[in-house]
Structure formats: structure tokens, C-alpha cells
Amino acid sequence: MIDFGTFLLSAAWLYAGSLLLALACLPFCRNYALARVAAPVAFVLAFQFIEHFIGLGSLFWLSPGLCAALIYIVYRRHGFAAVRHNLGTELAVLAGFTYCLLWRSAFPDIGPSSEKMADLAFICDYMRATKLPPLDGWLPPFRFDFYYSLQHYAAALAGRLLDLKAGAAFHLGYCLLAGLVAAAAYGIAAQFARARAHRLLAVAALFLGGTGAVVFVPFMCKNHAPLHASMRFMGSFARADMPDLNAFGLKIAALGKVVGPDLPVEIFSYLVYLGDYHAPLGGFLLLTLALLGMALVERDMKESRRPPALLYGLILATVPAALITNIWVAPLQAVLIASWIWYPLCQSKYRPDWRGPVCVLCVAVALIYPFLKNLAPHTLTSNSGLKLVLSADRPSLWHWLMVFWPALTLLLIAASLRSDRQISRRWALSWSLLLIWAELFYIKDIYSGQFSRFNTYLKWMPWIYNGILLTLGPLCLGQAPKLRRWLAAAVLVLVCVYAAALGRQFWETSKPFAGRMDGDTWLTQDAAQRAIIERLARLPQGVALEYPENTGFARSPGMAMAAGQPAFVGWIGHEQLWRGGRYDIQKRYDDAQSFYRGLGADSLQWLEANRIRYIIWLAGQNTDPTAFSRLSAILGTGYLWQETYRAGDFRVGFWEKAGP
């Protein structure tokens, strides 16, 4: 178990390492914020590319030498002065990193209540440090080659460099990602708004702001509204059957359909609170990186300078990078860039030599190609393509306006501005096209009925909403006349009302496991279970069998994951979704349950055929007092019993396969 002081030291090392990497790459990027974000992304892509050909194992030995080399390079170039000259950007990184660290250290448990365990499973797979794609720790001997998981690889890479367990790597990866998003957000705002207060307001709207529903939700409930209310407003919260709604809340709910589509808009601020290390986080990072590059091009055009070719290349490279980070938003990223880039390319004095951007784009494609080659066959069969949104799939217009009025207001203000190069109108046009697209089409997946657009909306609309606030907000603050500037500022201030709900949630929620950054205290607080994990962690790698309690969002296979061992069966609901509904996944689940109940025929042969080395026996398996003795008789001398607790016939422990 890592103590909190050691975790903070690791966090400082990771922060310092990312800073040194950015300073070393600053001469190539020519902008501090761009280097702060692009350098770590390029670093991760390079390692991921290499490990598709050879697994590098533990990288802790590399950290001191790498750090020394970066210090030498930066010192020789007098690069440390750049921090002083870009203090605002660096403070934004530190603020984003620290803010996320506060949430993660207060609520570090990675349990089965949400998608956290699934995200942790991906990181555990990469922590094995073998040639990619790695073993799927929830379905061995299959490979983990079905998910767009660049950020999970990045967290595992950080954990390997710092010699951390997967849970601590989960949290540190989250914090650094938040810090880099803050750097990009501040950099974008700095290009569009001169006043520091305007820049800070734009970043605050990203990290602390909610959807437009935040101004209605506090007045709709008899008690405090849940934190997800404004994010799950359409089809989930604003419903007449919600028990806590007051009279005003019922009137708002009556504006919608009795059973309307469930359309979540879980924006960046909510994701930081929630703690799921999910693909949309990486999508936000690539979005802000692209927007930062585009804002820097706008700055150069304003100053009548030809933007560097590398800048165009980095902007274009975010599209292939999105394919392996959050493939849902890759088409949106491409449309956003295409609808913006035509203007600088049409102006000969701003048009770069095409060879530079093409070279950068080709390098990016080459780096992601090994990953994408394994991912593509699964992705192509995972959905049924674009579908037109029908009237039944649309929410009430009033509810939609309540959620998106901040974005619509900024779009109208930006469209009304007359400025040099029509910058505000061009950006408003790009975002309007994406907003219209997202309301006309959705991607058909396994969900139907009121959830038919659930996944698409969850991935697309927060991306669009935050992008509008982050670009049009500073543009309006920096260029609009006084009245419209005040209106734009009021929009950003009002969405930041959500900060009060976030603060209340932080202070009023109990924190029983605060500072336990391995994330497995919900398991290790039981002494017998902790002993199993500690013993299994010291034993050779082998498939561990743990009783599958449910098809998803269950505690199993938490014990195997905490011990760093692959589990015979994980959350099969997720595995079936990821792997196109394979029939043998359900059979594996059924066979495992039958084995624990002593109903499986030829159990020893079944264990041998599936190469199961460890069999975990927990308190929940003692409901039948004869179950242990019956299973022990079946296993005979083929498996050795390792006991961690006993009270009469009540036992906890695990069996280990005898011999190699």
C-alpha cells in the first residue's frame, strides 16, 4: 500500500517530469502552452508505438536517467527562464493538477459503483508491460485490442516510470490530464482575450461550470438537488415522477414528455468530480490541443505573420490521435478543423508549405497505426452507422433550451460581431455546424427506446458545449462591445454557479478512505482479504478465479485486479459489448458460477483447460456450510489451500495450483 506522502512525492515527480519534457520541446513548439500539452502526448505515442514491437517491462530504472537528460537539455538551452515568462500558463497547469488531486485524494476508492473498475482494468492490462496488445485481464487468454485506450496506456506508463500500482497510476494520470487541459484552456483564452480576469473566467467555466440547467435545478427540489441533476436533466432528472421535485420543479418537468429520451450532457467539470478515467477525458485533451493550435494560427494571422507549418501539422494530427483516444469524437474533430482551416489556407500569405504539415500528419498516423490495426476490426462491427434523429428521439424544446442556453447565447453574440478576418463569425459557424449535426444524427448502437441516443449524446454534446464556451466565451469577452461583452461575462459567471454544488458535495460527503491512493481500500479494509491480495501479489502470474457475483458493476474481479493477476472472468456485460456479444463469454460466466456451487462436471479438467492457477474463496461463498468441504474434495491434492481466516466452518483464503 502506498502512503499519502509517497503518493504526493510521486505526483511532484510526474509534474516535474512533464514540465521538463515541455521545456525540452519548447524550441520546436514555439509556444509554452502548446509545448506543455503536445510534448506529453507525443511522448506517450512514441512509447506506445515502440511497445507494439517489444515490451519494455518496468521503466523505473529509466526515470533517473531520463530526468537527468531532460534537465541537461533544458539547462543548456536556458529553458528554465521560460517558466517565469509564462507563469500564468504554468499556474493554470498547477491549479488544474491540484484541483483534480483534491477530488482524487478525498475519494480515491476505485470500486464497482461506476465505470472506474473497468477503466482500472485497462490500466492493469498495460501495467503488465508486455508487447502490445496486452493480455485482457478480464478474459484471458484473449488480448486487450478492442478499446480506444490511449489515456489508459498513458496512466500505466506513468505508473511504470514511477514504480506505482495501477490504482495510484489511475489517479496520477487523471491529475496530469486535468493539468494539461487547464494549460490548453488558458492558452486558448490568452489568444482571444487580453484581460487576465477574462482568461481565468473561461478556465473556471470549464472546470467549475455546469450546463445551462444549473440556474434552474436549485429551485426545483425540496432538498438539495443531486450533483448530476443538471447533467442528466433531459429525460432523467426533469421528470414528473421524480419524488423530490417541488411545485416549481413539477412545472418544469411538465414542459417535457412523460417518457422522453435520456440525453446526458456530462461536461468536463462533472467528469473531474465523478472520477471515471473514461475516454471523454482524453477527447477533451485532444480538443483543447487542437483549439490551442487553431487559436495560435489566428494570433499569427492577426499579426500578419505566416503561422509555422508545424502548427498546422499538430492541429491535423489530433484527428488520428482521437481515433485511439475517443473514437466517438474523431469525426467531430475532423469537421471542426475542416470548417475552420479553409480560411487560413485560402490566404496565400498564411498558407504553409504543404510538406511540413503532411510530414507531421504522416508521423502521427505511423505512430498510431499499430494500435489502430488491432482496434479497427472490432470498431467496424461495434455499431450500425449513422441514423437520422426522429421526433420521438428528441427532447422537449424547452428542456433543450434550458440546458444549452449558454452555448446558444455565445453563438448569437459571436455571430453578431463584426471584426477583422470575421474571426468570431467563422468560429460561430463551425460550432453551429457541429451542433446541428449532433441534433440531426446519432450512431446506432445496442441501446434503443429512450436510450437510443444515450451514448452518442454522452460523447458528442459535452464536447461541443465545452468547446463553445472555451472559444466563443473568450472571443466575445475580448472583441464584443461593452453591452455584449457584459452579457457574455454573465453567461460564464452563471454557469459557474455549479461551483457551489461541487463545493457542497465535497465538504458534506463522507471521506472514509481519504488519502488511500491505491484505490482498493474497499477490499483491503478486511484483514483476510488484504492478506489474500498481499500473498497473490507475490506469487507468479497466473489466471485467478473469483466468484462472479453479477454480469456488471460487481466487486468481482476486484481481488484479482488488486493483486495484479489476470481474472478468469470480469464484467461480462461489458466484455460482450466490447467483443460483439460473443456467446462463449456468457458460458464462461455460467461455468464459473457452477464450479463454485459444486455443480460443474469434470471440474479439475475444466480448471486445467482454462489454465486457472488460483481460486479465491471469500466470505460470500460461505453461505452454504458444506460448499467449502465439497469443493475442497473435488480439488484434492491438485490445489493447495492458503488460509487467511477461519471460524469453524467459515473460511477465507485461496487455492494455489500444485506444481508449475
pLDDT at 383 over 70: no
Q: What CA dihedral angle connects 110, 114, 118 and 119, to 10 degrees? A: -70
Confidence class for position 77, pLDDT limits 50, 70, 90? confident
Residue 330: per-residue pLDDT: 96
Strand partners, 184: none
Question: Does 1 score more than 80 pLDDT?
Answer: no
Looking at residues 18-29, what average pLDDT do you find?
A: 96
Q: Which residue has the higher pLDDT, 352 or 497?
A: 497
Asked if residues 282 and 323 have their Cβ atoms less than 8 Å apart, the reply is no
C-alpha cell at 174: 487523471
Q: Which is higher by pLDDT, 604 or 43?
A: 43
CB-based contact 249:240 (threshold 8 Å): no
For 225-244, write each residue's pLDDT tens digit: 999 999 999 999 999 889 89
**What average pLDDT does the chain have?**
94
Mean pLDDT confidence for 199-228: 96
Distances (CA, A) of 22 to 18, 38, 82, 181, 398: 6, 8, 10, 14, 46
Could you read off the pLDDT of 502-526 as tens digits, one per residue? 999 999 999 999 999 999 999 999 9
Mean of the pLDDT values across residues 69-77? Answer: 94
Q: Of the given ranges (33-37, 283-287, 345-349), which has the lowest mean pLDDT? A: 345-349
Per-position b or e across 646-660, b if 16+ CB within 10 A of its CB = eeeeebbbbbbbeee
Q: What is the DSSP code string of 625-642?
A: TTHHHHHHHHHTTSEEEE
What integer pLDDT is reported at residue 380 of this predicted model? 54
The whole-number pLDDT of residue 384 equals 64
Q: What is the pLDDT of residue 599?
A: 72
pLDDT band at 348 (very low <50, low <70, confident <90, very high): confident
d(CA 402, CA 409): 12
pLDDT at 363 over 70: yes
Please, which contacts does 294-298 make with residues 24 or more away whose CB atoms are closer than 8 Å? Answer: 294/337, 294/340, 294/341, 295/187, 295/188, 295/191, 295/192, 295/471, 296/31, 296/34, 296/187, 296/191, 297/344, 297/350, 298/191, 298/192, 298/421, 298/423
Q: Measured in whole angstroms, how far is the alpha carbon of residue 238 from the centre of its chain? A: 27
Asked whether 34 and 89 are in contact (CB, 8 A), the reply is: no
Summarize pLDDT for 612-651 with one digit per residue, the tens: 999 999 999 998 888 899 899 889 889 999 999 999 889 9
Residue 413: closest CA among 337, 494, 336, 477: 477
Kindly state the average pLDDT of the residues 249-271.
94
Instruction: Determine the average pLDDT of the residues in 70-82.
Output: 92
Does the pLDDT of residue 382 top 70, yes or no? no
pLDDT digits (tens, 9 = 90+) for 537-593: 999 999 999 999 999 999 999 999 999 999 999 999 999 988 888 889 999 999 999
Count CA atoms closer than 13 A to 249's CA, side-chain side.
23
3-state secondary structure of 256: coil
Give residue 600's pLDDT band: very low, low, confident or very high (50, 70, 90): low
Residue % of the chain over a pLDDT of 70: 99
Strand partners, 442: 387
Which distant-in-sequence residues (6+ apart) come within 8 Å of 625 by Cβ? Answer: 649
Which helix (H) or strand (E) segment holds residue 73: the answer is: helix 62-76
R_g of the chain computed on alpha carbons: 26
How far apart are alpha carbons 478 and 485 in whole angstroms?
8
